[in-house]
């Protein structure tokens, strides 16, 4: 399972960790710019809760093993998040230049980084 949405990160050494109920404050608006923050732990927790509710509510999903269902949901979510980040950060292709110009006013990719605080 991929745990990071950063498009170019080597994830071979990463492992799933227990979610701690802690908050790390990032001020997204400053004098010279803005920071977009994707809080993956919160999104992962919400997806697990939604998947459990779906399994309880939809009879056709009862036959699917819970771990298999959660794994499929997580894999799809990681793909969506990775593609979202790639649209704004990837400079390997000009495929997203028009989209960045439309929403950001410039075709230049945004600098991105991925981190986890333990």
Confidence of residue 116 (pLDDT cuts 50, 70, 90): low
What is the spatial distance between Cα 71 and Cα 79, in angstroms, rounded to a whole number?
12
Full domain range(s) for residue 98: 40-104
CA distances from residue 62 to 44, 54, 57, 58, 73 in whole angstroms, order as listed: 21, 9, 9, 7, 15
Number of Cα atoms under 13 Å in the Cβ half of residue 107: 8
Task: Identify whether 80 is part of a domain.
Answer: yes
> Which among 33, 16, 8 has a CA at the least distance from the CA of 67?
16
73 in any annotated domain: yes
pLDDT in tens, 34-55: 777 777 777 888 888 888 888 8
Say what the pLDDT of residue 7 is.
Answer: 58
4 within some domain: no
Domain-located, residue 83: yes
């Amino acid at each position: 399972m991929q745990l990071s949405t950063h498009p170019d990160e080597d994830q071979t050494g990463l492992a799933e960790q227990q979610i701690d109920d802690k908050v790390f404050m990032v001020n997204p608006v400053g004098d010279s710019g803005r920071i977009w923050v994707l809080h993956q732990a919160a999104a992962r927790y919400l997806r697990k809760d939604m998947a459990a509710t779906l399994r309880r509510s939809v009879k056709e999903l009862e036959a699917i093993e819970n771990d298999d269902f959660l794994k499929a949901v997580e894999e799809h979510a990681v793909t969506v998040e990775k593609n979202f980040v790639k649209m704004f950060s990837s400079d390997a292709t000009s495929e997203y230049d028009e989209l960045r110009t439309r929403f950001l006013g410039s075709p230049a990719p945004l600098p991105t980084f991925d981190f986890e605080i333990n």
